[in-house]
Amino acid sequence: MGILESVKDEGHFWENGDIQALVETVGRWNREIAALVGHYKDQIGGDFAAPIAEYPNFEHLEAEGRNRDVCDEKPPG
C-alpha cells in the first residue's frame, strides 16, 4: 500500500508476523516491568500508580521476573 514510510516495532511483529514470538516478547516485558514495580513498591512502601499492579497475576509475574535472569534472554528477531 505504501502508506507507511517507516514502522517502529520493538516486538518485531511488523517484520516477521510471528504471533507466538510477539506473545513471548510481551510476556517477557510484563515480567520485567512487574519485577521493577515490585522492587519499587518494596523500597518506597505504599502504593503508586502502576497499571501492571492491577493485573490479577501481578505477583506471579513479579516473582518470575525476579527469579528469572531476564537480562540473559534474547529478544526474538
73 with 28: CB under 8 angstroms? Answer: yes
For 36-73, the pLDDT digits (tens) are 999 998 888 877 789 999 999 999 999 999 997 544 45
Residues 6+ apart with CB under 8 A from 32: 65, 70
pLDDT value at position 69? 55
Predicted confidence at residue 71, as pLDDT, reads: 46
